[in-house]
């Protein structure tokens, strides 16, 4: 009855039309839901924007939420360029955060100028190791990286739970299962009222852009993503490229964990990743794996979350409804990207035969 085929070429005008239709559809459906709740849809939607960008502190909160999304999406994009479906961003964030926390708790006497780089490097290494494990199994045994990386998320979560409830439980926490707060030396410094994670995100974006587009290693990643057989024919060591690239991909996700514990919570808990690893997958795809676009889309996503939090208070809208509105907006935006890439045909002859 229906047949889906990939579009050959989509010009900028057609792509813009589909995206505008997606935005219009999202606004229409969300407006209907808001009207059923006896609210003015224009007021609610405008308040979402206002809640994210209308004041200095709201902009700061939006950027703080955008930073881990951007860093993780950039990390995941490296794997996606090779057609290696890294769904393990959550686990890699958690392992990076756990490694940084270990350093912060045990070496707090070090000066900040030494402690923070040590936390950074340790987070990168452990996040990278968490990504290298499924890469090695993929290269050696041909395992499914999607399932492997997804399952690694739950192992990381349980490990952090073990640290929080037993091994690293704060004896001064009055019996609550919490990990002690870092000393001041483990805090990321601030620039313009925001921790320097936003500078780290920009530097990572620039570094990965240069790596992917202007180095031999980046060329190899793109060739492997296009065709492994072509890469082998050209004499490239595909297994080595996959493993090293996954080390970099997971390491960058681990840095997102370091930024979260050092710049935001100043401790570790089972909610540190907060779904960032999964949201970053959507951001990476919407951005077409472009580093600069990832930064912009991350800010828009963070603004949507921040705005959703604001309307809960301003209009007494339940958290579940705010999340539904966010989900509808996301669904239509992703749907518009589908129609940019694919055509849907309706076959009348098959219907008549049936």
Q: DSSP string covering 85-130, please?
A: ----HHHHHHHHHHHHHHHHHH-TTS-HHHHHHHHHHHHHHHHHHH
Instruction: Using alpha carbons, list the distances in angstroms from residue 217 to 82, 242, 260.
Output: 12, 11, 29
Q: Within 13 Å, how many C-alpha atoms sit on residue 111's CB side?
A: 2
Structural domain contains residue 216: yes
Which among 73, 66, 65 is positioned nearest to 252, based on CA atoms? 73
Count how many domains the chain has. 2
The predicted structure's pLDDT at residue 354: 45
Same-domain pairing of 102 and 208: yes
Same-domain pairing of 117 and 15: no
Same-domain pairing of 212 and 287: yes
Same-domain pairing of 125 and 157: yes
H-assigned helices in 197-318: 197-214, 216-226, 228-233, 238-260, 276-286, 291-314
The predicted structure's pLDDT at residue 9: 67
| Alpha carbon distance 184, 262 (integer Å) | 10
Same-domain pairing of 226 and 346: no
Same-domain pairing of 13 and 81: no
Contact 2, 347 (CB under 8 A): yes
User: Which of helix, strand or coil describes residue 187?
Assistant: coil
The predicted structure's pLDDT at residue 170: 94
Same-domain pairing of 323 and 298: no
| Alpha carbon distance 73, 293 (integer Å) | 11
Same-domain pairing of 94 and 221: yes
pLDDT of the chain along its 354 residues, tens only? Answer: 667 777 766 667 777 788 888 888 988 999 999 898 889 988 998 999 999 998 999 999 999 999 999 999 999 999 999 999 999 999 999 999 999 999 999 999 999 999 999 999 999 999 999 999 999 999 999 999 999 999 999 999 999 999 999 999 999 888 899 999 999 999 999 999 999 999 999 999 999 999 999 999 999 999 999 999 999 999 999 999 999 999 999 999 999 999 999 999 999 999 999 999 999 999 999 898 999 999 999 999 999 999 988 998 888 888 888 888 888 888 888 888 888 777 777 666 554 444
Same-domain pairing of 10 and 154: no
Q: At what angle do helices 12-36 and 41-53 cross, to 10 degrees?
A: 110
Structural domain contains residue 288: yes
| Alpha carbon distance 85, 285 (integer Å) | 12
Same-domain pairing of 24 and 111: no
Domain range for 152: 64-315
Same-domain pairing of 110 and 245: yes
Number of Cβ atoms within 10 Å of the Cβ of 13: 7
Question: How would you class 160 by CB atoms within 10 Å of its CB: exposed for 0-12, middle for 13-18, buried for 19 or more?
Answer: buried
Structural domain contains residue 15: yes
Structural domain contains residue 51: no
Same-domain pairing of 87 and 152: yes
Structural domain contains residue 46: no
Structural domain contains residue 102: yes
Structural domain contains residue 323: yes
Cα angle value 286/49/258 (rounded, 5°): 60
| Alpha carbon distance 118, 186 (integer Å) | 10
Structural domain contains residue 25: yes
| Alpha carbon distance 243, 248 (integer Å) | 9
Q: What is the CATH number of the domain that holds 79?
A: 1.10.3470
């Amino acid at each position: 009855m229906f047949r889906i085929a990939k579009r050959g070429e989509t010009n900028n005008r057609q792509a813009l039309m589909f995206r505008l239709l997606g935005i219009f559809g999202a606004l229409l459906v969300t407006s209907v839901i808001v009207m059923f709740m006896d609210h003015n849809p224009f007021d609610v939607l405008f308040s979402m924007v206002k809640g994210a960008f209308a004041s200095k502190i709201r902009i700061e909160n939006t950027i703080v939420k955008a930073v881990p999304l951007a860093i993780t999406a950039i990390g995941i994009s490296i794997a996606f360029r090779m057609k290696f479906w890294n769904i393990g961003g959550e686990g890699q964030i958690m392992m990076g955060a756990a490694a940084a926390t270990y350093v912060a708790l045990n070496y707090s006497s070090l000066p900040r100028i030494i402690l923070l780089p040590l936390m950074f490097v340790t987070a990168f290494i452990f996040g990278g190791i968490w990504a290298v494990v499924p890469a090695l199994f993929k290269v050696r045994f041909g395992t499914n990286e999607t399932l492997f990386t997804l399952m690694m998320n739950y192992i990381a979560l349980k490990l952090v739970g073990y640290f929080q409830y037993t091994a690293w439980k704060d004896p001064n926490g009055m019996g609550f299962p919490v990990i002690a707060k870092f000393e001041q030396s483990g805090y990321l410094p601030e620039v313009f009222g925001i921790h320097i994670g936003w500078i780290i995100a920009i530097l990572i974006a620039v570094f990965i852009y240069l790596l992917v587009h202007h180095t031999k290693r980046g060329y190899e990643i793109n060739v492997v993503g296009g065709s492994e057989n072509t890469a082998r024919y050209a004499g490239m060591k595909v297994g080595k490229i996959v493993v090293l690239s996954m080390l970099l991909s997971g390491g960058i996700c681990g840095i997102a964990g370091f930024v979260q514990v050092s710049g935001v919570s100043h401790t570790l808990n089972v909610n540190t990743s907060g779904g960032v690893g999964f949201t970053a997958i959507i951001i990476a795809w919407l951005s077409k794996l472009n580093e600069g676009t990832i930064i912009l889309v991350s800010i828009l996503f963070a603004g949507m979350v921040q705005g959703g939090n604001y309307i809960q208070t301003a209009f007494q809208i339940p958290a579940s409804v705010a999340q539904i509105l966010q989900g509808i907006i996301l669904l239509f935006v992703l749907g518009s990207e589908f129609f940019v890439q694919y055509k849907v045909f309706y076959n009348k002859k098959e219907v008549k035969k049936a």
